[in-house]
């Protein structure tokens, strides 16, 4: 798949015996983009509308978390946040990166916060998009969308019908869900290695809350939320922005879980203003 500008070369590093996939473009201070945990997710698919704008000012690194994209489909035996933050710490050492900005969608935002807490010297600024790093106060938990993700590989397994319902709940305006995006995500989610991992091999992953740790975050924080997000409740963004020492929140109305897609142009301006100033 290509970004709006050009196709990006696939690169790989082996960290803790696990082969991880990444792509990069641009020059300058690094920003590492982390995708969510939905079926068929990858960093390139999550941030294809943002890479060109970011890369005009920054070295953009698209990182596929283990189990996703072109990274190895390893079985996790510990919490995803702790594990992935540790992998990222070693990954940055492999690339000679001392510190970076992080932009994470959903689960990726939680991972960004975790690396900021566990490895504060690695993080400068963190942008989290609809990330459920703490339990919501005003909505059911787990969120509606998260429950749909957990059911995707159960029963009869992946199907186009299941995925269409799930992806249409991610966005406020379903016109942003193109057939190309839908088919790309379906093919990735229905890959035999992926269905074997999530349908059979991977057991329950320990749930991790960052609630007690957030007041210790040293990185500057920007939360970006859609007012109609059915995966990461808006009050979670408010809580995080209040709890961290240096936080702010930008809310988009008529917006679901993919602010970086549904409001790409303004999202790019807001995020770059935060990262560069």
121-125: Cβ within 8 A, 24+ apart: 122/88, 122/89, 122/92, 122/98, 123/99, 123/218, 123/219, 124/29, 124/99, 124/100, 124/219, 124/220, 125/101, 125/219, 125/220, 125/221, 125/222, 125/274, 125/275
**Tokens representing residue 82 in the block:** 């702790």
Active site residue 35: no
Q: CA 130 to CA 103: how far, in whole Å?
A: 11
Contact yes or no for 252/170 (Cβ under 8 A)? no
H helix intervals, the chain = 43-47, 51-55, 80-95, 107-118, 144-151, 160-170, 179-189, 192-196, 234-243, 259-262, 264-276
Q: Which of 35, 101, 257, 263 is catalytic?
A: 257
Q: CA 104 to CA 108: how far, in whole Å?
A: 4
DSSP state of 264: H
C-alpha separations of 258 from 59, 120, 130 in Å: 22, 27, 8
Peptide bond into 78 cis (omega under 30): no
Q: Which residues are catalytic?
A: 257
């Amino acid at each position: 798949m290509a970004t709006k500008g050009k196709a990006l070369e696939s690169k790989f590093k082996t960290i803790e015996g696990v082969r991880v996939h990444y792509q990069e473009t641009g020059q300058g201070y690094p920003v590492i983009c982390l995708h969510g945990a939905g079926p068929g997710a990858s960093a390139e698919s999550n941030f294809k509308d943002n890479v060109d704008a970011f890369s005009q000012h920054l070295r953009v690194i698209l990182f596929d978390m283990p189990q996703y994209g072109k990274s190895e489909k390893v079985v996790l035996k510990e919490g995803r946040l702790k594990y992935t933050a540790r992998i990222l710490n070693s990954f940055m050492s492999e690339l000679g990166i001392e510190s970076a900005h992080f932009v994470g969608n959903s689960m990726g935002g939680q991972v960004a916060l975790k690396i900021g807490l566990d490895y504060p010297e690695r993080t400068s600024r963190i942008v989290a998009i609809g990330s459920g790093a703490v339990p919501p106060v005003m909505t059911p938990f787990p969120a509606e969308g998260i429950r749909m993700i957990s059911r995707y590989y159960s029963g009869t397994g992946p199907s186009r019908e299941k995925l269409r319902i799930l992806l249409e709940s991610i966005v406020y305006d379903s016109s942003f869900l193109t057939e190309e995006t839908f088919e790309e995500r379906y093919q990735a989610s229905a890959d035999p290695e992926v269905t074997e991992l999530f349908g059979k091999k991977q057991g329950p992953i320990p749930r991790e809350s960052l609630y007690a740790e957030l007041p210790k975050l040293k990185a500057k924080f920007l939360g970006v939320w859609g007012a109609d997000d059915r995966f990461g409740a808006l009050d979670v963004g408010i809580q995080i922005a209040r709890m961290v020492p240096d936080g702010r929140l930008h809310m988009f109305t008529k917006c679901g879980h993919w602010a970086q897609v549904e409001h790409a142009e303004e999202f790019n301006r807001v995020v770059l203003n935060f990262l560069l100033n």
